[in-house]
Amino acid sequence: MQADLLSTVPLCSTVICNMSVGPINNMDFLTLFAVYVAVVLTCIVLVCKYSGQQQSPLTILFDCLAKIFGPITPKWLQRFSQGTMHKLFHQRSNMFIYIHILLEVVVYAEFTYEVFGYCQDMDTTLLSLSVPYILLAVKTLFFFLCIKRDPGTVTKKRIPSQLQVYPYDGRLFHPGVSCPTCQLVKPARSKHCRVCNRCVQRFDHHCVWVNNCIGSQNTRYFLLYLFSLTAMAATWMRMASSSQQDLCLLCSIFF
């Protein structure tokens, strides 16, 4: 009889461990994190691929929907939707900054609710628990700098010094070429941003998430922002994985 009872201990341990870890495996914060990453990566790919092009999957979809629902949609609603889409994707807008902050708040709230308690119960050190929030503060600093820092706007006062930074290669960049919009001589590796309506030195791209161009003066902050964001995501996954392992170990000890 005693042997039969002892033989059921591993089974009970496995069942209880699976019951305890089950909610963590299906934690809502992991789902929200996956949605967050998917939305960010999708927007980055779409913006990088179709930036400056008249036709994109979004415009094609919008045109198809307009043909279907146009005849039955009020004119004022059509003007409102067209104006909203134009402001979001063809003009500087803070909407994506608000979306970014909202997603981050939701993910961190769920992370704190689901994982923080488990890690605290497992006697995780305060320093380890504070790492994600320290990274959040660091990431927020670089995020703010990406938004507020001038990317390297080409102006009349700056042109003499900006022309000396990079030499013209004679292929993509030629001396004496002026921007038809800004009416200024274009330094090498500069480009006119249609969204911001300005020429930017060492232009990389226009990032909708920071509502700013990424150029010579803020590239370093943008790279540090991406690095801190990656480190923050890795910390989330590490703590979630550790909490699962600790629960399994705890179940095997007590059962």
The catalytically annotated residue of 17, 193, 199, 207 is 207
Distance between CA 78 and CA 167 in Å, rounded? 48
With beta carbons less than 8 A apart as the criterion, state whether 232 and 9 touch: no
- Please answer whether residues 182 and 199 qualify as being in contact, where contact means their C-beta atoms are separated by less than 8 angstroms: yes
Q: Which residue has the tokens 């994506």?
A: 96
207 as an active site residue: the answer is yes
Any idea which residues carry the catalytic annotation?
Answer: 207
